[in-house]
């Protein structure tokens, strides 16, 4: 057990999603100050007094969920929540909050800030663009597969929700849904750097943004593979494995390999594991967006998990 509050913060700050201080706010502020980087990365920081009279949202109110955590704790403990973010005080829409609630990655925080400023200045409300206005071309990735695209108008800005790799104009903010699973196979001892490069190349070929990666799947023979584990830890995504029998039972047409069958007991690892994960965790049957790509002893396939409507 650590001897001081500061020592605890030093050890766990980058490992947790939230820190709740039961101290004076000054102690909380001084303990986290040197660790703060950006609201997109910092955990929620909440402080409450020892008598549970007040619960204060200090850091990452929207993006980190500190405001929601503050309100929840205040409700449970019959305390007074102290939330000072402008959109909450004014009762206005927050793009940061929307992104967090729907597992969307904000790609440009300067534009997100500009949208919030316009909302506060004009009272602009979010308006969903009719899906019929989204072109069929935009609904497909580089491999020709249909993927969800949603648009939201907020004042003079447009927000597009898609995993596709696009080039937004100065009045468009892209939010990337966590909706793509990478099925990965690799030689024993493959480094995390080689896996990273192979996955990046796969996303580029599919016309997708890496921020959309939501999970990695493979065969259970690889559940202790150091390079895969390090890659998943760095990318902060779950790693799920399946037996050869489970993978072989996945329905579909896959890139079969006699060599892979001889080594693993299943004709294809990356494609089958990607589809298996997507079909179990998504709202579809696990559609492949990119078939097996091989590079430096790594094979990668991408499947679409799907996107919640979020409206």
Q: Please say if the pLDDT value at position 225 is more than 60.
A: yes
Q: What is the CATH number of domain 5-84?
A: 3.40.50.11220
pLDDT tens for each residue of 113-125: 999 999 999 999 9
Q: Please say if the pLDDT value at position 218 is more than 50.
A: yes
Q: Please say if the pLDDT value at position 3 is more than 70.
A: yes
Question: How much is the average pLDDT of 124-133?
Answer: 76
- Sheet of strand 54-59, all strands in order from the earlier edge strand to the far edge: 18-22, 44-48, 54-59, 80-82
Q: Please say if the pLDDT value at position 106 is more than 90.
A: yes
Give the pLDDT band (50/70/90) at residue 107: very high
Question: How much is the average pLDDT of 202-222?
Answer: 96
**Every domain of the chain and the residues it spans:** 5-84, 95-176, 180-304
Give the pLDDT band (50/70/90) at residue 139: very low
Q: Which residues are 153's β-sheet partners?
A: 127, 158
Give the model's pLDDT for residue 142.
44
Task: Tell me what the pLDDT averaged over the chain comes to.
Answer: 89
Half-sphere exposure of 74 (CA within 13 A, CB side): 18
- Distance set, CA 161 to CA 138, 164, 171, 215 (Å): 11, 9, 14, 19
Question: How much is the average pLDDT of 160-166?
Answer: 93
Q: Please say if the pLDDT value at position 309 is more than 70.
A: no
Q: Which CATH architecture has domain 180-304?
A: 2-Layer Sandwich (3.30)
pTM, two decimals, is 0.82
With beta carbons less than 8 A apart as the criterion, state whether 216 and 229 touch.
no
pLDDT tens for each residue of 41-85: 899 999 999 999 999 999 998 888 899 999 999 999 999 999 998
């Amino acid at each position: 057990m650590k001897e001081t509050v500061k020592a605890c913060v030093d050890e766990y700050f980058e490992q947790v999603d939230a820190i709740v201080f039961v101290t004076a706010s000054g102690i909380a502020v001084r303990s986290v100050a040197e660790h703060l980087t950006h609201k997109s990365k910092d955990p929620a920081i909440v402080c409450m007094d020892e008598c549970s009279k007040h619960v204060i949202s200090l850091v990452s109110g929207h993006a980190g969920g500190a405001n929601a955590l503050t309100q929840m704790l205040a409700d449970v403990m019959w305390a007074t929540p102290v939330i000072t973010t402008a959109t909450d005080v004014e009762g206005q829409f927050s793009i940061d909050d929307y992104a967090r609630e729907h597992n969307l990655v904000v790609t440009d925080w300067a534009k997100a800030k500009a949208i919030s400023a316009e909302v506060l200045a004009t009272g602009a409300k979010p308006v969903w663009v009719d899906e019929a206005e989204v072109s069929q071309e935009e609904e497909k990735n580089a491999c020709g597969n249909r993927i969800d695209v949603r648009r939201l108008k907020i004042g003079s800005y447009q927000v597009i929700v898609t995993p596709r790799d696009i080039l937004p104009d100065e009045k468009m903010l892209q939010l990337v849904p966590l909706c793509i699973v990478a099925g990965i196979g690799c030689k024993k001892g493959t480094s995390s750097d080689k896996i990273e490069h192979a996955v990046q190349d796969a996303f580029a070929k599919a016309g997708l943004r890496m921020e959309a990666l939501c999970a990695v799947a493979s065969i259970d023979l690889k559940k202790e593979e150091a390079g895969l584990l390090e890659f998943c830890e760095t990318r902060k995504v779950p790693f799920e494995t399946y037996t050869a029998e489970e993978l072989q039972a996945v329905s579909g047409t896959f890139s079969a390999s006699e060599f892979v069958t001889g080594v693993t007991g299943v004709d294809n690892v990356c494609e089958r594991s990607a589809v298996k994960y997507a079909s179990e965790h998504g709202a579809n049957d696990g559609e492949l967006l990119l078939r097996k790509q091989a590079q430096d002893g790594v094979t990668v396939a991408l499947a679409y998990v799907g996107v919640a409507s979020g409206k």
